[in-house]
Chains A and B, each alone.
Chain A
Amino acid sequence: EVQLVQSGAEVKKPGESLKITCQGSGYSFTTYYIAWVRQVPGRGLEWMGIFYPADSATRYSPSFQGQVTFSADNSISTAYLQWSSLQASDTAMYFCARRGYRAADNHGMDVWGQGTTVSVSS
């Protein structure tokens, strides 16, 4: 079964750092983009950017450039989303999702993680 499994909910204080995970299984991890999506409570889906595990190529939405960092450890098929200094405005649900890299495999974001809730409050 193809799946993405994300790490559990986090409760943090402003200024703290955080790294959440997204582990893929059942498919070739390095042949799919990993996209990150934010959803603030009661709001819509926001595309944060993508990471391509095969060559670590990264593209960030302008809204998130400089605010977060994407990375991965291909040896354990795990992608990471990290913050160096959280703010209250980072409180949201964060999803990872995959999309095929090759044009022939571009079937949209077909598999999603279950989401990680991040709460930031003093």
Chain B
Amino acid sequence: DIQMTQSPSSLSASVGDRVTITCRASQDITTYLAWFQQKPGKVPKLLIYAASTLQSGVPSRFSGSGSGTDFTLTISSLQPEDVATYYCQKHDYVPWTFGQGTKVEIK
């Protein structure tokens, strides 16, 4: 099965900083990569699918890029409400494996 590896596992940044999270697949998944945001005690929320398509209603400061095995989620200007854990997930063939998560905090 294809493994999904995120880095870093956690990060701390200042409000207004540009934040980048990476996700690596152990095999080519073309662009079938989604990103989710989960705030403490809340339901995961889809941010991006197909590697770079922004889900409706998601702020434009979030963006995704990549294809094949290497993907990136970027928050262009970190806001206090972005404190959350972010997960990548492959959404092509089963299993639809999640990455282990990246916890984002405000410095």
Interface size on B, residues (CB 8 A): 26
Determine if B43 and A114 form an interchain contact, defined as CB atoms under 8 angstroms apart: yes
Determine if B49 and A108 form an interchain contact, defined as CB atoms under 8 angstroms apart: yes
A55-82: which residues lie under 8 A (CB-CB) from chain B?
Answer: 59, 61-62
Contacts of A106 in B (CB 8 A): 32, 49-50, 91-92
- The digit string for B29-65, where 1 denotes a CB below 8 A from any CB of A, is 0001010101000011110011001010000000000
Contacts of A45 in B (CB 8 A): 36, 38, 44, 87, 89, 98, 101
How many angstroms between the C-alpha atoms of A114 and B36 in the bound complex? 15
How many angstroms between the C-alpha atoms of A106 and B97 in the bound complex? 15
Contacts of A61 in B (CB 8 A): 95
**Chain B positions near chain A (C-beta within 8 angstroms):** 1, 32, 34, 36, 38, 43-46, 49-50, 53, 55, 85, 87, 89, 91-92, 94-101
Between A and B, 15 residue pairs with Cβ closer than 8 Å are A35-B96, A45-B36, A45-B98, A46-B98, A47-B98, A97-B44, A99-B96, A107-B46, A108-B49, A108-B50, A109-B46, A109-B89, A110-B55, A112-B44, A113-B43
